[in-house]
């Protein structure tokens, strides 16, 4: 008998409507899926449509179907904050009660001074900015002086941008490790290396981003599965988000297309992994943050085409969950994340599809995986949807 297996795919930043208690004016009107569909004249996502995506909300081009093949609904985020780490940790059963620290006005001398002293380089910026815009603005000065471009966002991140021909990747990664040792004392969620290439006026990010994340403060589903001697497979930036905790094997894919391809391969060829956990980051980094609804729509179509293959490869004892970690609406004035409901689609050949309604927490994903794998005494947050 083939052992049971669960696959969770996170469409990073693909939210589905503001939470009712979200009073952040920056998020006003956010609904990543619905607004993207409106902006491009409708989405064509036949595979997610038949799973029931159009039954969750009125998404132009994605019909509500009378007999969806998957259970469908949306989930509320209990944790404060709207960042990637918070969303993923809650998906894996860990709810935080205090948000990570953010620095919209830049990092204070208590952080910056010891950082400059240790890396022996000057810094540029130190304020909240769009990563793609700040390298155009300061890239030339950075190359002339060797000073690091330091910036943040609405999230709890300390980001360091550097031209790969000015500061080699290995050195940039060492600098980020130094930064992590400093900022981790201030409850900052991540340090992110943001390497770029190009010439003045034509700078562009490379795929060599690297994240240095705070480890979860308590066990997640990943840790608990390891304790139960299950093997876990992380695809995309999952390893960074969980600081490698609870991960048996990892494949750090750097694009949606590569992540989709590796997920298909894992489903097809790796039955030894009880849990496959994939993050598809392009929705967020390439399109949501850059206010590009057409790019978001194209990426959703690319995923939907891959989903057709995934559904064909799903085995009788597999559970597939498709969801997100927050919103990142490409149609609003903001270029930051938005705190939204996230869609959830739950598919197996052996369970009856149903309307899941509004779930109280993202952690219901972790509880569902636990039950599907036949484990008892679930130790984390959330309730199974099965």
- Per cent of the chain over pLDDT 90 is 97
Backbone angles phi, psi at 367, to 5 degrees: -65, -35
- Residues in the chain, total: 386
Asked if the model's pLDDT at residue 1 lies above 70, the reply is no
Is the domain of 60 the same as that of 130?
Answer: no
Is the domain of 129 the same as that of 92?
Answer: no
Q: How far apart are CA 244 and CA 128, in angstroms?
A: 28
Is the domain of 261 the same as that of 360?
Answer: yes
Residue 304 CB partners (closer than 8 Å, separation 6+): 44, 45, 46, 47, 48
Q: How far apart are CA 190 and CA 175, in angstroms?
A: 14
Is the domain of 221 the same as that of 209?
Answer: no
Is the domain of 238 the same as that of 363?
Answer: yes
Segment 14-43 mean pLDDT: 96
Residue 104 lies in a domain: no
Residue 154 confidence class, pLDDT cut points 50, 70, 90: confident
Segment 108-133 mean pLDDT: 96
Q: How far apart are CA 142 and CA 140, in angstroms?
A: 5
| Contact predicate 233/249, CB 8 Å | yes
3-state helix vs strand vs coil in the chain, percent to 5: 35, 20, 45
Backbone angles phi, psi at 46, to 5 degrees: -60, -35
pLDDT at 170: 97
pLDDT at 2: 65
Asked if the model's pLDDT at residue 169 lies above 90, the reply is yes
Which CATH number characterizes residue 265's domain?
3.40.720.10
| Contact predicate 324/42, CB 8 Å | no
Segment 46-63 mean pLDDT: 98
Is the domain of 282 the same as that of 296?
Answer: yes
pLDDT at 102: 93
Max Cα distance, the chain (Å): 63
Number of domains making up the chain: 2
Is the domain of 204 the same as that of 221?
Answer: no
* H or E stretch covering 336: none
Asked if the model's pLDDT at residue 59 lies above 80, the reply is yes
Segment 53-62 mean pLDDT: 98
Residue-number span of the structural domain to which 135 is assigned: 109-213
Is the domain of 296 the same as that of 354?
Answer: yes
CA distances from 51 to 278, 283, 352 (A): 19, 20, 12
Residue 105 confidence class, pLDDT cut points 50, 70, 90: very high
pLDDT at 112: 98
Single residue among 198, 213, 228 that ends a domain in this structure: 213
- Per cent of the chain over pLDDT 70 is 99
Is the domain of 236 the same as that of 290?
Answer: yes
Which CATH number characterizes residue 192's domain?
3.30.70.1250
- Looking at every residue in the chain, the average pLDDT score rounds to 96
CA distances from 169 to 14, 158, 163, 193, 366 (A): 30, 17, 9, 9, 36
pLDDT at 3: 83
Segment 190-202 mean pLDDT: 97
Residue 383 lies in a domain: no
Helix (H, G, I), strand (E, B) or coil at 214: coil
* H or E stretch covering 162: strand 157-163
Q: Note the helical H segments in the chain.
A: 32-40, 46-51, 84-91, 109-119, 131-145, 169-183, 221-227, 238-241, 256-269, 282, 293-313, 364-372
Residue 333 lies in a domain: yes
Closest Cα to residue 164, out of 141, 191, 139?
A: 139
Residue 309 confidence class, pLDDT cut points 50, 70, 90: very high
Single residue among 213, 237, 253 that ends a domain in this structure: 213
Segment 50-79 mean pLDDT: 98
Closest Cα to residue 209, out of 185, 232, 236?
A: 236
Is the domain of 225 the same as that of 197?
Answer: no
pLDDT at 321: 99
Closest Cα to residue 31, out of 339, 296, 298?
A: 339
Asked if the model's pLDDT at residue 290 lies above 80, the reply is yes
pLDDT at 51: 98
Single residue among 162, 178, 213 that ends a domain in this structure: 213
Q: How far apart are CA 63 and CA 53, in angstroms?
A: 8
Is the domain of 230 the same as that of 304?
Answer: yes
Backbone angles phi, psi at 170, to 5 degrees: -60, -40
Residue 103 lies in a domain: no
Closest Cα to residue 212, out of 243, 186, 234?
A: 243
Q: Write out pLDDT tens, residues 332-382.
A: 999 999 999 999 999 999 999 999 999 999 999 999 999 999 999 999 999
């Amino acid at each position: 008998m083939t052992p049971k297996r669960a696959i969770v795919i996170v469409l990073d930043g693909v939210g589905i409507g503001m939470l009712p208690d979200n009073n952040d004016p920056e998020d006003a009107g956010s609904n990543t899926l619905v607004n993207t569909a409106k902006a491009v004249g409708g989405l064509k996502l036949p595979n997610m449509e038949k799973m029931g995506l159009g039954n969750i909300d009125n998404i132009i081009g994605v019909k509500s179907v009378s007999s969806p093949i998957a259970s469908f609904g949306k989930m509320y985020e209990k944790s404060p904050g709207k960042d990637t780490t918070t969303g993923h940790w809650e998906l894996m059963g860990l709810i935080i009660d205090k948000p990570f620290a953010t620095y919209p006005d830049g990092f204070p001398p208590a952080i910056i001074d010891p950082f400059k002293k240790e890396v022996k380089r000057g810094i540029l910026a130190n304020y909240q900015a769009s990563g793609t815009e700040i390298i155009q603005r300061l890239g030339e000065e950075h190359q002339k002086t060797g000073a690091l471009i330091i910036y943040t966002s609405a999230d709890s991140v300390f980001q360091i941008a550097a031209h790969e021909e000015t500061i080699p990747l290995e050195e940039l990664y060492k600098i980020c490790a130094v930064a992590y040792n400093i900022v981790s004392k201030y409850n900052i969620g991540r340090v992110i290396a943001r390497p770029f290439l190009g010439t003045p006026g034509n700078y562009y990010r490379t795929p060599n981003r690297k994240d240095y994340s705070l480890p979860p403060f308590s066990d997640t589903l990943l840790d608990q599965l390891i304790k139960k001697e299950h093997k876990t497979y992380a695809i995309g930036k999952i390893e960074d988000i969980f600081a490698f905790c609870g991960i048996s094997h990892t494949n750090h894919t750097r694009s949606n297309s590569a992540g989709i391809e590796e997920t298909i391969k894992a489903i097809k060829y790796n039955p030894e992994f009880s849990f496959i956990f994939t993050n598809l980051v392009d929705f967020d980094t390439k399109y949501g943050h850059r206010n590009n609804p057409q790019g978001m729509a194209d990426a959703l179509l690319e995923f939907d085409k891959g989903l057709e293959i995934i559904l064909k490869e799903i085995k009788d004892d597999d559970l597939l969950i498709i969801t997100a970690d927050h919103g990142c609406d490409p149609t609003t004035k903001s270029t930051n994340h938005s705190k939204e409901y996230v869609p959830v689609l739950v598919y197996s050949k052996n369970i009856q599809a149903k309307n899941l309604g509004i779930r109280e927490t993202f952690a219901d994903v972790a509880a569902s995986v636990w039950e599907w794998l036949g484990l008892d005494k679930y130790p984390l947050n959330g309730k199974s949807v099965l």
